[in-house]
């Protein structure tokens, strides 16, 4: 496995694979890797000749300076984990390599980028599009793997691609299921920052989502589900809801029709912001 720091090294490696007609899978990450990330890497390993994983904490997608500073950085551990997971190339650039000058591009993506995460983290998705468009242009993979843990992010990237913002990328976007701990908590790099007590509180989030899904079978309405989730989560005094949304799973706009819906939540557990979702 190679660990590369520069864009030109990655382009050269990609050119070598292409010269020999080999397929490339790509998994973008911000590091602090866990089994959720690794499930994407393994999927890429199964489906492609070569797998490239980027490890880059992208400053332009953080709308909160403290969140950026506190984001866990564990490159050596990440490299060790990737070595055992079928990764061929780790691309771990410095900020100056990715942004030699400020990226001023604005991506016009409509409502899909304005609701939920877009509303509560202004500028977040624009930063995601900046980095993902650069990474897809550098790696030009046949398949790019994204986790449904960040469901809205996939919808935003799909919209970015369909609007022609990344002409160099002709591959396929592959959504992958959420990987959870045995007790149900969605794996996240941010879980590392939870105290033992906060870790227990965090469980309430996934439990509320699972129970809500069960209630659909018993005839619950969207309002019933919203209220149930809000009541269940706010019962724990460590948790503070940012949003509970029942959204159309394609447009991500709020809906009361549960037939094509997803429930998405963002919750502060102490000062750690957690997101989770469940498809109905
Ligand atoms: P991040 O490092 O948080 O930017 O995540 C990198 C990729 O891994 C994104 O596509 C995430 O959606 C995905 N990912 C993160 N956590 C999980 C999880 N628990 N299950 C599946 N994919 C995940």
The ligand 1 atom at the shortest distance from the C-alpha of residue 150 is: 12
Task: Name the 3-class secondary structure at 79.
Answer: helix
**248: CA distance to ligand 1 center in Å?**
21
* Distance separating alpha carbons of residues 194 and 135, to the nearest angstrom: 30
Contact 40 CB / ligand 1 (< 6 Å): yes
Task: Enumerate the H helices of the chain as residue ranges.
Answer: 7-19, 35-47, 65-70, 75-83, 95-98, 117-120, 124-139, 151-162, 196-217, 222-234
Mean pLDDT, the chain, whole residue set: 97
At how many degrees (to 10) do helices 151-162 and 124-139 cross? 60
Report the C-alpha gap between 159 and 110 in whole angstroms.
Answer: 9
Q: How far apart are CA 233 and CA 240, in angstroms?
A: 8
pTM for this structure? 0.96
Distance CA 206, CA 265 (A): 10
Give CA angle at 251 (160, 71), nearest 5°.
60
Report the pLDDT value the prediction gives residue 245, as an integer from 0 to 100.
98
Dump pLDDT digits (tens) for 151-189: 999 999 999 999 999 999 999 999 999 999 999 999 999
Q: Name which of 67-71, 112-116, 140-144, 233-237 the model is least confident about.
A: 67-71
pLDDT of residue 79: 98
CA 187 to ligand 1: nearest atom: 19
The SS3 of residue 135 is helix
Strands 239-248 and 261-269, by their bridges, are: antiparallel
Task: Give the pLDDT of residue 56.
Answer: 98
Per-residue model confidence as pLDDT tens digits over 193-240: 999 999 999 999 999 999 999 999 999 999 999 999 999 999 999 999
Q: pLDDT confidence of 38, banded at 50, 70, 90?
A: very high
CA–centroid distance, 26 to ligand 1, in Å, is 13
């Amino acid at each position: 496995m190679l660990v590369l720091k520069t864009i030109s090294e990655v382009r050269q490696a990609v050119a070598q694979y292409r010269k020999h007609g080999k397929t490339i899978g790509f998994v973008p990450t911000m590091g602090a890797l866990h089994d959720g990330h690794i499930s994407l890497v393994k999927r890429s390993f199964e489906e492609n000749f070569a797998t490239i994983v980027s490890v880059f904490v992208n400053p332009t997608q953080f709308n909160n300076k403290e969140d950026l500073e506190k984001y866990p950085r564990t490159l050596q551990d990440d490299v060790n984990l990737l070595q055992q997971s079928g990764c061929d190339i780790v691309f771990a650039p410095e900020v100056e390599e990715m942004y030699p000058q400020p990226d001023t591009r604005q991506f016009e993506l409509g409502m899909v980028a304005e609701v939920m995460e877009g509303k509560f983290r202004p500028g977040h998705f624009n930063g995601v599009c900046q980095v993902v468009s650069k990474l897809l242009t550098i790696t030009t993979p046949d398949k790019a793997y994204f986790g449904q843990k960040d469901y809205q992010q996939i919808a935003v990237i799909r919209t970015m691609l369909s609007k022609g913002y990344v002409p160099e990328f002709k591959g396929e976007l592959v959504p992958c299921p959420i990987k959870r701990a045995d007790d149900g908590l969605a794996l996240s790099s941010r879980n590392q920052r939870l105290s033992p007590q906060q870790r227990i509180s965090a469980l309430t989030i996934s439990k509320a989502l699972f129970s809500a899904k069960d209630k659909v079978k018993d005839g619950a309405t969207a309002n019933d589900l919203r209220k149930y989730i809000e009541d269940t989560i706010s019962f724990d005094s460590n948790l503070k809801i940012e949003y509970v949304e029942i959204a159309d799973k394609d447009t991500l706009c709020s809906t009361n029709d549960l037939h094509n819906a997803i429930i998405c939540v963002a919750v502060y557990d102490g000062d750690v912001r957690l997101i989770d979702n469940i498809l109905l």
